[in-house]
A and B are shown apart, each in its own frame.
Chain A
Amino acid sequence: DAGVTQSPTHLIKTRGQQVTLRCSPKSGHDTVSWYQQALGQGPQFIFQYYEEEERQRGNFPDRFSGHQFPNYSSELNVNALLLGDSALYLCASSESPTDTQYFGPGTRLTVL
């Protein structure tokens, strides 16, 4: 049974560019949440998707947007990249918005 998968593993971008990160949830999971983890910090909640809608959002600017597809996979888009966007981006899936979240290996984004 495959766990949560994310792609790509690593990504290097320059300031002002746009990036798309992808996540496939565990089999049987329909809810996807995204987190940003800066170096030496705990993960910070970006948003959660359920039934193809953004259900809850953390304190992140509109430059961060997402999407959930009918197969429950999800994308995180970040526009106009800033140096401060450099972080590990973690995707988590759960059987429902109320259930335990299981995390993928993350995508490490470096903005130069």
Chain B
Amino acid sequence: AQKVTQAQTEISVVEKEDVTLDCVYETRDTTYYLFWYKQPPSGELVFLIRRNSFDEQNEISGRYSWNFQKSTSSFNFTITASQVVDSAVYFCALSEFPVHTGTASKLTFGTGTRLQVTL
């Protein structure tokens, strides 16, 4: 069974601080995808990134960066120089790729980390 753990329930930072959101996953499959989504107060989940299990390169997109380490089953997300607009709930998710069905399965989400950025 697949599982995603986001141990940090809530994080508060002051604007311009760097912040890292932790994500640890469990899966028995060798092929899978990892995701991060942002959920602002409006409720809509906004896609941020998708990585497959064979690509452990870290990725940077503006102030966002992601660190994928298969050895520790972690896919952490760092926001550099945080801004008030970054305040939201952030979800890490896992999607297995069962070879026998040939289709990606459901997204399994963690419980989310609420990030509060204040002035």
Contacts and interface: CB of A to CB of B under 8 A. Distances in A.
B37 to A, nearest CB: 7
A26 to B, nearest CB: 11
A56 B47 contact: no
Give the contact-size bracket for chain A.
20 to 34
B91 interface: yes
Interface stretch (B11-19, B62-70, B76-84, B109-117): B109-117
B105 A43 contact: no
Closest 8 CB pairs of A and B: A42-B109, A45-B106, A103-B45, A97-B103, A98-B104, A105-B44, A106-B43, A42-B111
Q: At the interface, is chain B mostly helix, strand, loop or mixed? A: loop
A91 to B, nearest CB: 10
Interface string B15-48: 0000000000000000000010100001111110
A108 B110 CA distance: 20
A104 B46 CA distance: 9
A65 interface: no
A56 B106 contact: yes
Interface of A: 33, 35, 40-45, 48, 50, 55-56, 58, 88, 90, 92, 97-106, 108
B108 interface: yes
Interface of B: 4, 35, 37, 42-47, 50, 91, 93, 97, 101, 103-112
A58 B106 contact: yes
A92 B93 CA distance: 14
Contact of B45 (A43, A44, A48, A97): A43
Given A42-B109, A42-B110, A88 B103 contact: no
9 contacts: A42-B110, A43-B91, A58-B106, A90-B45, A97-B104, A98-B103, A101-B47, A103-B44, A103-B46
Nearest to A88: B43
B42 to A, nearest CB: 7
A45 B95 CA distance: 11
Nearest to B93: A42
